Amino acid sequence: ANLALQEGRLAAAQMELNSAQNQLDEKQRELDEVQAMYDAAMKEKQALLDDAEACRRKMNNATALIEGLRGEKLRWTASSKNFQNQIINLVGNVLLATGFLSYSGPFNQEYRNLLLQLWKKEMDNSKIPYSKNLNLTGMLVDNATVGEWNLQGLPNDDLSIQNGIIVTKASRYPLLIDPQGQGKIWIKNKEKNNGLQVNINLQFFENVC
């Protein structure tokens, strides 16, 4: 009788256990669903945070670009105005450059400057536009070429650079009055790779003098 009583109690307890297990399983399923929803929400939140950070970086880059373009607009406007002035003054500048190449070769620096001033005065009288701050050396040769000439032995003073321009740019063959031999050294170094031939008699004559 006791055994039957205990088996009845065991059966009742087992039923309660099964009911509790079923409830636990149901709650676990609900918990899993809520956890999945939570994970999805956190993932979406992180994605939104990443998108917000990316948008913030893009906004910062766009702001920097806009500021840079605003500065570039000013520079481009100034450059456009400068180019327009160069176009207007081109005829006069080329006239001064060709006059310099054609006629100033035999003269020293002082007389070359005087010639330029006289030409500018005549151009003013004839209303020919030209750049008031024209640098003939900068117009006719670039700094890299001047640096190469210096490495080849040409002195770095303005007169020597002008002479180098006349030698290389003028259409006529130059006659060098070269008591110190600097021009001869420069030309020989400059034309060394082009097969320059030096007249032996002329070389002997120069050495004797």
Domain residue spans of the chain: 135-208
Structure confidence at residue 84 (pLDDT)? 85
Q: What letters, b where the CB count within 10 A reaches 16 and e where it falls short, cover 35-70?
A: eeeeeeeeeeeeeeeeeeeeeeeeeeeeeeeeeeee
Q: How far apart are the C-alpha atoms of 206 and 209, rounded to whole Å?
A: 5
The pLDDT, as a whole number, for residue 208 is 40
What is the reported pLDDT for 94? 93
Contact 138, 114 (CB under 8 A): no
- Give the architecture-level CATH label for domain 135-208: 3-Layer(aba) Sandwich (3.40)
What does the alpha-carbon distance between residue 61 and residue 70 come to, in Å, rounded to a whole number? 14
Q: What is the pLDDT of residue 116?
A: 92
Query: What's the DSSP call for residue 194?
Result: G
Q: Give the pLDDT score at 100.
A: 92
Would you say the pTM of this structure is higher than 0.85?
A: no
CA atoms of 51 and 26, how far apart (whole Å): 37
Question: How far is residue 123's CA from residue 130's CA, in Å, rounded to a whole number?
Answer: 8
Compute the CA torsion angle 9, 14, 16, 22 (nearest 10 deg): -170
The residues of the chain scoring below 50 in pLDDT are 202-209
String of DSSP letters for 3-64: HHHHHHHHHHHHHHHHHHHHHHHHHHHHHHHHHHHHHHHHHHHHHHHHHHHHHHHHHHHHHH
DSSP string covering 65-110, please? HHHHHHHHHHHHHHHHHHHHHHHHHHHHHHHHHHHHHHHSTTS-HH
Instruction: Give residue 67's pLDDT.
Output: 80
SS3 130: coil
Q: Which pLDDT score, from 0 to 100, does residue 199 have?
A: 65
